[in-house]
Structure 1
Amino acid sequence: MENHETRPPGPPRGLPIDSDTAGDTVAEGRHRWWAFVRSHADVLAVISAGGALGSLGRWSVDELLPWSGTTFPWATFLVNVSGALALGVLMVLVVEVWPPRRYVRPFVGVGVLGGWTTFSTYVLEARDLLAAGRAATAFAYVGGSLVAGLVAVWLGIAAARLLAPGSRREGAR
Structure 2
Amino acid sequence: MNWLLVALGGAIGATLRYGTGVLLIKPIGIFPWTTWWVNVIGCFLAGVFFAVSQKYSFLQSEARLFLMVGILGGFTTFSSFGLETFQLLRQGHSAVAFSYAISSLVIGVIVLGLGYYLFQSILKFDA
TM-score by length of 2: 0.54
Q: Does 1:117 align with 2:76?
A: yes
Do the aligned partners of residues 98 and 118 (structure 1) sit closer, same or farther apart at CA in structure 2, a change above 3 Å counting? closer
Per-residue deviation, 1:64: 2.2
Q: By percentage of residues, which structure has more helix?
A: 2
Which of these residues, 58, 64, 88, is aligned with residue 100 of structure 1?
Answer: 58
Query: Contact 1:58–1:79 at 8 Å: present in 2 too?
Result: yes
Matched residue, 1:56: 15
* Structure 1 unaligned blocks of 5 or more: 1-41, 120-145, 155-173
Write the deviation string for residues 86-145 of structure 1: whole angstroms up to 9, x where unpaired: 111111211x211334311101100000111155xxxxxxxxxxxxxxxxxxxxxxxxxx
Q: Which has the larger radius of gyration?
A: 1
Query: Contact 1:76–1:118 at 8 Å: present in 2 too?
Result: no
Write the deviation string for residues 66-105 of structure 1: whole angstroms up to 9, x where unpaired: 65784322111111001001111111211x2113343111
RMSD between superposed Cα atoms in Å: 2.9
Matched residue, 2:2: 43
Q: How many residues align?
A: 83
Matched residue, 2:48: 89
* Structure 2 unaligned blocks of 5 or more: 88-127
Query: Contact 1:55–1:112 at 8 Å: present in 2 too?
Result: yes
2:57 aligns to what SS in structure 1? coil
Matched residue, 2:118: none
1:71 aligns to what SS in structure 2? coil
Write the deviation string for residues 14-63 of structure 1: whole angstroms up to 9, x where unpaired: xxxxxxxxxxxxxxxxxxxxxxxxxxxx0110011000001001001122
Percent of pairs with identical residues: 35
